Amino acid sequence: MKMYARGIAVVAITRVGVETALKIKEALNNSGLTSTVYTLKKYSKNGAVPMEKTVADFVKDTYGTVDALVGVMATGITIRAVAPLLESKLTDPAVIGVDAPGRFIISLLAGHYGGANELTRIIAEGIGATAVITTATDATGKKSVEELAKNLHLIIQNPESLAAVNSVLVNGDRMVVVIVGDIEIPFDQVGCYEIKRAQNSPEALDIINNYDAGVLITPEPLTLELLQTDKTHKPFAILKTKRMIVGLGARKDSSTDSIIKAVDKVLEEAHLPLASVNSFATVDIKRNSPAMIKAAEWLGKPLEFLSVDALRSLNHKDLSPDSKLVQEKIGVGGVCERAALLTAGKNPKLIVKKTKLDGVTVAVAEGE
């Protein structure tokens, strides 16, 4: 499982809360998720990191650097700490509340797009607690537009449509997902909705008009022509594909087979089909690596090469700590994450951080 690539901060402020936080960390670790427990200095133990500031200041400094924040404390404290920092359900990290004894796990913010609902279920199952999820689509067993976008790695282009489209879902009316062009998506992530294909956006809207609402999945931004049509349309959300890049690194003796297996494993765990990948990227010294070149050819994707200087120049908040060994060998502290981020386009973000498998390192970045 590869999610929440920037990590999960678990914050506790009582002795009992720290015990629960450490159980949460263990449960997350068992699910393949990276987390750090933070607490007051007097309660720090067993790997819990002491906070040198107030909860409010710690949350303020941490909020934009992690994918999820779990507050093991009174829910009111967590809400007051994050309230001044809220921006959008599409950009805020997942925020979860947990009572100190660990009886209830409450999805508070960014339930769908930020993954709070999913993380709530993982923690509850892992420590034997009750998951509390109140979003309307979850209560009815339906996947919201935000959840579809997150699962399929898509950008919501018209977020103002979400209330109307999700209302149709909650009320049990008919919704359709229309895929424009030859985009390949994992249908098991779509849910129970009907799936149709269209050659272009106007054709997709004609299909949506036969339903109560729809989701249009497109490889291109919404055109002005589509916006200016005189036709009356049912509510529809537009989800655009992202640019997905797999960054690669490998030892000199790595085989083609080991590279292919590493890529397949990472993509499978990220629920990302190979068809959604735009290209692979690595450092330019791999131009002379038959194994790397053959692996990319076998997987059917272009392989882009970046200079050591370009990789070294990247400064990005998602990067893992540099490797001294890699730094000594090629002059930069890491390859796969940097190559993926540099090639992903606008607003790049790591969705899978550096993963080592049999001498091969793999990272996945998405961008616009």
The answer to whether position 268 is within a domain reads: yes
The answer to whether position 314 is within a domain reads: yes
> Which CATH number belongs to the domain containing residue 210 in this structure?
3.40.1390.40
Q: Is 262 left (phi over 0), alpha (psi -120 to 50) or beta?
A: alpha
> Which CATH number belongs to the domain containing residue 350 in this structure?
3.30.420.180
The answer to whether position 70 is within a domain reads: yes
For the ranges 44-48, 96-100, 162-166, 214-218, the one whose mean pLDDT is highest? 96-100
The answer to whether position 157 is within a domain reads: yes
Q: Please check whether residues 315 and 213 belong to one and the same domain.
A: no
12-21 per-position pLDDT tens digit: 999 999 999 9
Q: How far apart are CA 102 and CA 232, in angstroms?
A: 50
3-class secondary structure per residue, 59-93 = HHHHCCCCCEEEEECCHHHHHHHHHHHCCCCCCCC
Contact assessment for residue 45 and residue 18, using Cβ atoms and an 8 Å cutoff? yes
Q: Please check whether residues 227 and 320 belong to one and the same domain.
A: no
The answer to whether position 22 is within a domain reads: yes
Give the number of domains in the chain: 3
Tell me which amino acid residue 344 is.
A
Q: What is the predicted pLDDT for the residue at 292?
A: 95
Residue that terminates a domain, selected from 185, 207, 241: 241
The strand pair at 360-367 and 194-198 is best described as: unpaired
The answer to whether position 1 is within a domain reads: no
Please give the full DSSP string across 147-189, using - where no structure is assigned. HHHHHHTEEES-GGGHHHHHHHHHTT--EEEEEETT----GGG
124-168 per-position pLDDT tens digit: 999 999 988 876 555 555 678 888 888 788 888 888 888 888 888
171-198 per-position pLDDT tens digit: 778 888 999 988 877 776 676 678 899 9
Q: What is the predicted pLDDT for the residue at 231?
A: 62
Q: Please check whether residues 301 and 227 belong to one and the same domain.
A: no
The answer to whether position 114 is within a domain reads: yes
Q: Please check whether residues 24 and 130 belong to one and the same domain.
A: yes
Percent over 70 (pLDDT), the chain: 93
Average pLDDT score over the chain = 87
Residue 230 has pLDDT above 60, yes or no: no
Q: Please check whether residues 114 and 85 belong to one and the same domain.
A: yes
Residue 259 tokens, joined = 């590279």
Which residue range(s) make up the domain with 184?
A: 145-241
Residue 1 has pLDDT above 50, yes or no: no
Q: Please check whether residues 233 and 346 belong to one and the same domain.
A: no
pTM for this model (two decimals):
0.67
Residue 335 has pLDDT above 60, yes or no: yes
Residue 224 tokens, joined = 């002005």
Q: DSSP H helical segments within the chain, as ranges?
A: 15-30, 55-62, 75-82, 116-127, 136-139, 145-152, 162-170, 201-208, 224-227, 256-269, 290-299, 308-313, 324-330, 336-343
Residue 336 has pLDDT above 70, yes or no: yes
The answer to whether position 2 is within a domain reads: no
Residue 224 — very low, low, confident or very high, per pLDDT cuts 50/70/90?
low
Q: How far apart are CA 57 and CA 23, in angstroms?
A: 25
Q: How far apart are CA 295 and CA 292, in angstroms?
A: 5
Residue 220 — very low, low, confident or very high, per pLDDT cuts 50/70/90?
confident
Residue that terminates a domain, selected from 101, 134, 167: 134
